[in-house]
């Protein structure tokens, strides 16, 4: 748990920004942090793209913390309740709820994990993880049933409330299963099988594995 310094709302959100999302029509707030900005960090560096970032170009990788706040002047960062999830930019027109920036804290890029998906790319079933695009021996993706895509800020705000049992302030239908299917890491037994077949260590962090494969995440920070 750590205290944060309240900043003035800005018109853009950047890597490291701790943001709030206001639950629609309610004086309730969810707190999160931008971990990686695909457009401003990845594409700004003119990186050759052979991975899934084209799908997430308009997105930011964020984490959302537990607790729902009534007062933005008394915010503390607690445990992460929604980790490493792609959302359409907090500062884009896709965000239809009130938001703002409270603070900025440096991101430890060595600890960042990107969502992992198994999908078909150019007719080949691949494991996609950040910059990594690894060919598998699978002929189809039926056994995985993963959902490849990003969420809107309003969805993660409501999902954070739903995950904490605050159903009375949740708008729309929410289910843990919908979020689980966005990341292979939520299915450890299946993930271990995939990694074993690829002769990869499932315990290695994204930073370690990607650096071994020639993609040093540090160059974006």
Q: Are the C-beta atoms of residues 39 and 81 closer than 8 Å to each other?
A: no
Instruction: Tell me what pLDDT residue 167 has.
Output: 78
Instruction: Tell me what pLDDT residue 178 has.
Output: 67
* Domain count of the fold of the chain: 1
Cα end-to-end distance, the chain, whole Å: 24
The domain in which residue 101 lies consists of 2-220
Q: Are the C-beta atoms of residues 80 and 66 closer than 8 Å to each other?
A: yes
How does pLDDT run along the chain (221 residues), one tens digit per residue?
A: 454 555 555 677 899 999 999 987 788 999 999 999 999 999 887 666 678 998 899 999 999 999 889 888 878 888 999 999 999 999 998 898 999 999 999 999 999 999 999 999 889 999 999 999 999 999 998 888 888 889 999 999 989 988 888 877 887 766 666 678 889 999 999 999 999 999 999 999 999 999 999 999 999 99
Half-sphere exposure of 95 (CA within 13 A, CB side): 24
Instruction: Tell me what pLDDT residue 1 has.
Output: 44
């Amino acid at each position: 748990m750590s205290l944060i310094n309240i900043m003035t709302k800005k018109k853009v959100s950047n890597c490291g920004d701790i943001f709030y999302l206001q639950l629609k029509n309610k004086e309730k707030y969810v707190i999160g942090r931008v971990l990686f900005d695909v457009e401003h960090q990845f594409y700004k560096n003119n990186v050759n793209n052979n991975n899934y970032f084209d799908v997430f170009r308009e997105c930011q990788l964020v984490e959302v913390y537990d607790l729902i706040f009534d007062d933005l002047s008394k915010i503390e960062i607690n445990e992460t309740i929604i980790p490493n999830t792609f959302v359409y930019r907090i500062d884009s027109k896709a965000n239809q709820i009130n938001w703002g920036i409270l603070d900025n804290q440096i991101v430890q890029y060595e600890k960042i994990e990107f969502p992992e998906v198994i999908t078909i790319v150019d007719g080949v079933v691949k494991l996609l993880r950040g910059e990594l695009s690894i060919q598998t021996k699978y002929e189809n993706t039926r056994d995985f049933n993963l959902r490849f895509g990003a969420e809107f800020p309003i969805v993660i705000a409501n999902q954070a409330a739903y995950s904490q049992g605050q159903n009375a302030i949740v708008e729309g239908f929410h289910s843990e299963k919908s979020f689980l299917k966005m990341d292979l890491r939520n299915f450890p037994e299946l993930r271990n099988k995939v990694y074993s077949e690829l002769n990869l260590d499932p315990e290695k962090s994204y930073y370690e594995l990607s650096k071994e494969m020639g993609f040093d995440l540090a160059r974006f920070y």
